[in-house]
Amino acid sequence: MDITLQAFMAQLTIGLIGGCFYAMLSMGLAIIFGLLNIINFTHGAQFMMAAFLAWIGLTQIGPWLGYPDFQINFWVALVIAPLIVGAFGMVIERALLRRLYHLDHLYGLLLTFGVALVMEGGFRYVFGVSGQGYEPPEILQGPVDLGFMLLPKYRIFVVVASLLICLGTWYLFERTKLGAYLRAGTENPRLLQAFGINVPVMITLTYGFGVALAGIAGVLAAPIMQVTPLMGGNLLNIVFAVVVIGGLGSILGSMMTGLALGLIEGLTKVVYPEASTVVVFVIMALALLVRPAGLFGREV
């Protein structure tokens, strides 16, 4: 097979960017799972919602308000959209999820699933299924010459930004006092409460934080992927496979697995493009055969 270095590197970069999104999303899932013991099926819908909020802010809100020139730019959206999505998540946690903690995990899963259906169906009803374009901010437009290939500036920004977010989250959880509380809550919430920590509030905030991570990923994804109501659900299926491979036990583990699988997916696109959509699932099946407890296995 004859592959140019350029094509190879291009696919690898696309894989790396995909891996960044897998990493951010699976990290959010791991954080939520650690404290709430539920798999957040709404994660994809929340990712989609943030991308839509960014798109609405850039292209729709001005005409809606009657000032066609008014727009919320990318940088503001990158802050506001995750906050809105996170707050929305906290409302769901307070109003609905909280009632299910004493029950089987299955119910939390089904509830978040129902919320995802409502959100995706609602966005589809209002905005249709066709993809909406989102212009990256001017400063990040255009390519950078890396010598062996041209790479859009925005893609470099996404890789750097998501790596920073991942490392920041890791630092927050593993190296700060707040993180120590959170890890203690994962280990034994009742004991932590006995020490005077308000665990219910901590759980709400943790859910909000995990969801906001999905929100940041969503805004970052808006200029790369088409903004459609389906963008989150499709991605989430792959992220679930990533989570099965890496396990939900460790934040660093889920981040590494996400990046690695993105790269593998990119490589598959070079070697055997037809398989690239399923390669993550196949790797998951293989991993289950070889190491049933997950690569960073701590069976939950």
Partner 1 sequence: MSTTFKISLALFAALLAVPFVPGLIYPVFVMKVLCYGLFACAFNLLLGFTGLVSFAHAAFLGSAGYVTGALMIRFGAHPLGMPAAFAAGIAASALVGLAIGGLAIRRRGIYFAMITLALSQIVYFLAVQFRWTGGEDGLQGIPRGSLFGLDLTSDTTMYYVTLGLFAAGFLFIDRVVHSPFGQILQAVRDNEARATSLGYDTDRFKLIAFVLSAAVAGYAGSLKALVFQLVSLNDVSLHTSTEVVLMTLLGGVGTIFGPLVGAALVVGLQNYLATIGDLVTVVIGLIFIVCVSFFRRGFVGEFLHLRRRRADRTIRRRPLRPDPETTPAAEPA
Interaction site with partner 1 (CB under 8 A): 33, 38-39, 96, 99-100, 103, 105-107, 109-111, 113-122, 124-125, 233, 237-238, 240-241, 243-244, 274, 277-278, 280-282, 284-285, 288-289, 292-294, 299-300
Least Å distance between CB 90 and partner 1? 17
Task: Provide the minimum distance between the beta carbon of 135 and partner 1 in the complex, in angstroms, as a whole number.
Answer: 27
| Residue closer to partner 1 (CB basis): 159 or 248 | 248
Tell me how far apart the 2 most distant CA atoms of the chain are, in Å. 64
**Scanning the structure block, which residue is given the tokens 């981040």?**
255
d(CA 172, CA 297): 22
> What tokens does 129 get?
């299924």
Burial of 145 (0-12, 13-18, 19+ CB in 10 A): exposed
- Residue whose tokens read 């951010």: 24
State which residue, 175 or 291, has the beta carbon closest to partner 1.
291
Q: Are 214 and 85 in contact (CB under 8 A)?
A: yes
225 close to 57: Cβ distance less than 8 angstroms: no
For 47, residues 6+ apart whose C-beta sits below 8 A from its C-beta are 25, 214, 215, 217, 218, 221, 231, 232, 235, 236
State the nearest-atom distance from the C-beta of 107 to partner 1, in Å: 5
**Nearer Cβ to partner 1 (72/287):** 287
In the complex, least distance from residue 138 CB atom to partner 1, rounded to whole angstroms: 35
Tally Cβ neighbours within 10 Å of residue 6.
Answer: 11
Closest distance to partner 1 from the beta carbon of 61 (Å): 23
Concatenated DSSP letters for 187-253?
A: H-HHHHHHTT--HHHHHHHHHHHHHHHHHHHHHHHTTTS-B-TTHHHHHHHHHHHHHHHH-SS-HHH
**Closest distance between partner 1 and the C-beta of residue 231, in Å?**
15
Whole-number minimum distance, CB 87 to partner 1, in Å? 19
Report the nearest approach of partner 1 to the CB of residue 88 (Å): 15
Cβ proximity to partner 1: between 57 and 210 the closer is 210
Of the chain, the end-to-end C-alpha distance in Å amounts to 44
Residue 144 or residue 271: which is nearer to partner 1 going by CB?
271
What are the start-end ranges of the E strands in 83-169? 143-145, 150-152
Which one, 65 or 129, has the nearer CB to partner 1?
A: 129
- Shorter beta-carbon distance to partner 1: residue 77 or 287: 287
Is the Cβ of residue 10 or residue 203 nearer to partner 1 in the bound state? 203
